[in-house]
Structure 1
Amino acid sequence: MEQRDRWATKIGLILAMAGNAIGLGNFVRFPTQVAGNGGGAFMVPYFAALFLLGIPVMWVEWVQGRYGGKYGHGTLGPTFYLMARESLKPKSALIFGLIGGALAFATTTLLNSYYLHLIGWSAAYSWFSITGAYFGKNTAEFFGNYLTNHAQVFLFWGITVVLLGIAVGQGVSKGIERWVKVMMPLLYVFAIILVIYVFALGSPLGDPNWSTIKGFEFIWSPNWSYLREHLYEVLLAASGQIFFTLSLGMGIIQNYASYLGPDDDVALSGLATVSLNEFAEVVLGGSIAVPLAVAYAPKIVPPEVLAQGSTETLNWIAGEFGLGFSYTSLPNIFVEMGTAGRFFGALWFLLLWFAGFTSAIAMYNYLTALLEEDLNIKRSTGTWIVFALYFILGLPVVYIDGYLDQVDAWISFQLALLALFDIIVAVWLFKPDNFWEELHRGAYIRVPGFYKWITMIVAPIFLIFPLAGTFTDLIGKTLGWPARIAILAMLLIGAVETYYAIKKKYGEELEKNEVIIKV
């Protein structure tokens, strides 16, 4: 078997995995979920979801990736097939391979079709901040004008995706690993500088009722009454956030883990990935946007809302928070800072760009690995094929109103669905004892035995919340024909490609319906 590329160093692997997990979800989506779900009320179910869902599924995906890599596979379809063979005949195992391959392909293509544009927005606003382009202007109108200036949108999108293609085209050890070793430390440095500034800011408008400390109190004071009244909604939001923040249910953790050796640790490495991500999200991501918004509330909240008191003001901020808030209201805050606002505005948006870039690079590599391993297309060529694919899939995001939200609603459902299949295949079909043995092969730590039962039983039950909730949300959104066509096309292409990949290597097995290739 031809030797696949591998991570050159353990720190490179951990930083790459952390970069994969740390994205816009940490610095934009997390504050949005906290603000919109009662502040401190959100944090209790969030940590419950982390320990009962996030950590076990993270270990499942690391195990899957290393196991697939042992057979030379970095994509999910063949890996699902190989693990399902432990309980099923090859022809039946093929069904699970097709499901895994179709869902992973659709995720990495559809998610990046709009995620790359969001990263491009961040690159643009880094430039707009340092040049002061939106200073002295209506920031909402400025953002709207930017979105309709398609030449500018594609310019910053293009800069981002070309750099991604260069990084991925250089390979895992000589490309991705080298890039994340620079970008991840810088990301943490940028975030820590911003957090220190926020802590020191206090009450910038001279009113103690509106300070960064009030923002921290909103996040970290448990709101038990709100949680009792909105338990299901908050639990749904918390469990959904865990998928986004840890990049679960995408197939890209498995892709990165496939470049491990067969006896390389996955237990401690998986836990380290979670820890770095949570530090970035909870400690750093939770300490910038919301406290800033509360401190500058009188400058960004309508006077009639502000007059109703702090509760209504916080509710308004919660309702407005999100991507639009980041590109309209937060720039107003940077304007209020004066000259320093140009620096801190550029730092904030550069932080978002770095976070998005290190996540997108993993999805980019998944598709490049698929072309390289299954279709024998050179990596350097494959990266530009992926570039062209992303350009085509990104056109509806720019030109069709509502398309981004529709595809995003589908992706939210699909992440939870693929995570459920992760557990079905890697734990139940692969067999729980085999999974537990694989998790501890070469492990630096011993995982507590109760986590075996959490992974087998509790995690799948917990998955009901994001699955049911996002499915309900999906039904509530009318998917237009462009979104339907894109979703169905990517699922179909993913299934066909997976069938080809499995048939090419395991055709004799499928024909005889018995396992022949075993490593």
Structure 2
Amino acid sequence: METRSQWGTRAGFILAAVGSAVGLGNIWRFPAVAYENGGGAFLIPYLFALLTAGIPILILEFTMGHKYRGSAPLTFRRMNKKTEFIGWWAVLVAFVISTYYSVIIAWAMSYSVFSFNLNWGEDTGGFLFGDYLKLAENPGEVGSFVPGVLIPLILVWVIVLGILFKGVKKGIEIANRIFIPALVVIFLIIVIRAITLPGAMDGLEAFFTPDFSKILNPDVWVAAYGQIFFSLSIAFAIMITYSSYLPKKSDITNNAFITGFGNSSFEILAGIGVFGILGYMAGQLGEPVSEVVDAGVGLAFVVFPEIINQFPGLNALFGFLFFASLVLAGLTSLMSITETYVAGLMDKFKISRGKAVFFGGGVAALISLLFATQGGLYFLDAADYFINQFGVALLGLVEVVLIAWILREVKNLKDHANEISDIKLGAWWTVSLSLITPVVLGYMMYGLLKQNIMKEFDNATGNYEGYPDAFILWGGWAVAIGALVIGVVLAITKWKKPSVEDEETYKKEAQ
């Protein structure tokens, strides 16, 4: 008899997986990345990357979690005892991301309230960095707590940890059944309104007009793989954890295709909405669309408030809907990120869900308070850059090389997926995992290491200009390396022995 928590329905799992994949990056990162890398032509490498890296790794992680019935650390341990540390490394990467991701959701909560009275005024940049974040003058300064960030941050954690306390079926599944349809409806309203604005077609033309000359640039293909990789929530324990809650009979490959294409569809929808609105803004300012394109914090919390100020009719409602969509997208992702270390603690130390949520989520919430100080944005930038590039991307490379080349588990996992799935895996999946993905990720890591040796820092938020090298290098590397070191320590910590029933259940299911 299955003793592990399970999803109530297949739709519940898919909504949760899509909810994890659809996050802030879909709305504020993808449109700018696509625009800068060939517009409509970017969809060619993007689709290729989805089919040769995104969906193959989704299938891989869905299959691993389903076959080995555990959190990321337990899954890697059951695959090979020597690789448990990789599971903990992935969990620690998720832990770090949760500490600052929660703060960005808190900003969006505040801005959804600000929308009603347009509190940000005419100088939206000055309001964000000065009035709202009360940003310290120099990177490295902590300063005092900022109440406008601290209060919604506490609310974010109360919501997320409250949902996780309820468990998989009664908490995560029910929350995603509410949040994901609400997010889709809200964003459809935004998109419909956006494309009816004067100048919207100019924005859409800028977004979709293909620049095929860029297709031959290898950096464009790297950008496509990077976008797929970072937007699908792969390679940092989430999909392994979620799929471990699937019933024994589950269509792995179908679920992966639905999740992958669902995420990409939302990204393209976000691009239409964002560029429709940017086209309107460009028309109002009498400038080309290229002059108003931005990404990350700048797009969401500076450019969009400027647009909302000029919005024709019901601008307060439109502003609320936009920031509410950020909150919903963020909450569904934060739930999944936090569940990775909750599940890891439950498996390793045989503690109750309540205790795992209290200790794991509680520590993450306490650490997140650092980002609610006057120096919070500086620390957020350093942590985000290094944990994404040298946590998520490097983890993905290690994961596929380990499974495909060292443990040679591809055939075993393929057989497991094919046994229960309608869409059978063949040479496409094997070649993608064994050759295409490792080569592309290896090239990405080479470029990132070269960039950091040359001290050419950059990220989607664009806030590194003027940062001291020492702050980024020491602070950022401390976070990235610290996640790996703590992961190794947790891996060598003795397991609290599972019950006989748990081991017997797993062995029977594995046969």
**Cα distance change, pair 438–470 in 1 and its aligned pair in 2 (3 A):** farther
- In the alignment, the residues of structure 2 paired with residue 438 and residue 410 of structure 1 have an alpha-carbon distance, to the nearest angstrom, of 35
Q: Which residue of 2 aligns with 1:29?
A: 29
Unaligned runs of 5+ in 2: 135-144, 458-468, 500-506
The reply on whether 1:462 has 2:440 as its aligned counterpart is: yes
The answer (yes or no) to whether the contact 1:61–1:422 under 8 Å persists in 2 is no
Alignment map for 1:178-217 (pairs within 5 Å): 178-201=174-197, 203=198, 211-217=199-205
Q: Which residue of 2 aligns with 1:385?
A: 359
- In the alignment, the residues of structure 1 paired with residue 266 and residue 119 of structure 2 have an alpha-carbon distance, to the nearest angstrom, of 29
Q: What is the identity percentage for the equivalent residue pairs of Structure 1 and Structure 2?
A: 28
Unaligned runs of 5+ in 1: 85-92, 204-210, 507-514
Q: For each residue in 1:166-224, what CA deviation from the matched residue of structure 2 results, as whole angstroms up to 9, or x when unmatched?
A: 001100011100000011111110111111111222x2xxxxxxx21121122222102
- In the alignment, the residues of structure 2 paired with residue 426 and residue 285 of structure 1 have an alpha-carbon distance, to the nearest angstrom, of 34
**Cα offset, 1:490, TM superposition:** 3.0
- In the alignment, the residues of structure 2 paired with residue 362 and residue 468 of structure 1 have an alpha-carbon distance, to the nearest angstrom, of 30
Which of 4-13 and 408-417 deviates more? Answer: 408-417
Q: Which residue of 2 aligns with 1:327?
A: 301
**Cα offset, 1:431, TM superposition:** 2.9
- SS of residue matched to 1:248: coil
Q: Which residue of 2 aligns with 1:354?
A: 328
- In the alignment, the residues of structure 1 paired with residue 237 and residue 377 of structure 2 have an alpha-carbon distance, to the nearest angstrom, of 29
Alignment map for 1:378-457 (pairs within 5 Å): 378-397=352-371, 398=373, 399=375, 402-413=378-389, 414-428=391-405, 429-457=407-435
Q: Which residue of 2 aligns with 1:242?
A: 228
Alignment map for 1:150-299 (pairs within 5 Å): 150-201=146-197, 203=198, 211-228=199-216, 231-282=217-268, 284-299=269-284
The answer (yes or no) to whether the contact 1:423–1:460 under 8 Å persists in 2 is yes
- SS of residue matched to 2:73: helix
- SS of residue matched to 1:361: helix
The answer (yes or no) to whether the contact 1:102–1:492 under 8 Å persists in 2 is no
Q: Which of 141, 144, 154 is 2:126 aligned to?
A: 141
Q: For each residue in 1:56-99, what CA deviation from the matched residue of structure 2 results, as whole angstroms up to 9, or x when unmatched?
A: 11111111111221xxx22x223223224xxxxxxxx41x221x
Q: Which residue of 1 aligns with 2:139?
A: none
The reply on whether 1:97 has 2:84 as its aligned counterpart is: yes
Alignment map for 1:488-503 (pairs within 5 Å): 488-500=481-493
Q: Which residue of 2 aligns with 1:512?
A: none
Which of 112-121 and 172-181 deviates more? Answer: 112-121
**Cα distance change, pair 421–327 in 1 and its aligned pair in 2 (3 A):** same
* Displacement over 4 Å in runs of 4+: 501-506
- In the alignment, the residues of structure 2 paired with residue 114 and residue 53 of structure 1 have an alpha-carbon distance, to the nearest angstrom, of 27
- In the alignment, the residues of structure 1 paired with residue 308 and residue 60 of structure 2 have an alpha-carbon distance, to the nearest angstrom, of 42
The answer (yes or no) to whether the contact 1:191–1:351 under 8 Å persists in 2 is yes
**Cα offset, 1:481, TM superposition:** 3.6
**Cα offset, 1:352, TM superposition:** 0.9
Q: For each residue in 1:83-134, what CA deviation from the matched residue of structure 2 results, as whole angstroms up to 9, or x when unmatched?
A: 24xxxxxxxx41x221x13421221111112111111111111111124322
Q: Which residue of 1 aligns with 2:108?
A: 122
- In the alignment, the residues of structure 1 paired with residue 451 and residue 102 of structure 2 have an alpha-carbon distance, to the nearest angstrom, of 24
The answer (yes or no) to whether the contact 1:114–1:394 under 8 Å persists in 2 is yes
- In the alignment, the residues of structure 2 paired with residue 113 and residue 394 of structure 1 have an alpha-carbon distance, to the nearest angstrom, of 4
**Cα offset, 1:28, TM superposition:** 0.8
**Cα distance change, pair 262–501 in 1 and its aligned pair in 2 (3 A):** farther
- In the alignment, the residues of structure 1 paired with residue 30 and residue 353 of structure 2 have an alpha-carbon distance, to the nearest angstrom, of 34
Aligned length: 474
TM-score in terms of structure 1 length = 0.85
Amino acid at match of 1:110: V
- In the alignment, the residues of structure 2 paired with residue 444 and residue 250 of structure 1 have an alpha-carbon distance, to the nearest angstrom, of 27
- Computed over aligned residues only, the root mean square deviation of the Cα atoms, in angstroms, reads 2.5
**Cα offset, 1:424, TM superposition:** 2.9
Q: For each residue in 1:244-268, what CA deviation from the matched residue of structure 2 results, as whole angstroms up to 9, or x when unmatched?
A: 1111111100000011133322110
**Cα distance change, pair 124–400 in 1 and its aligned pair in 2 (3 A):** closer
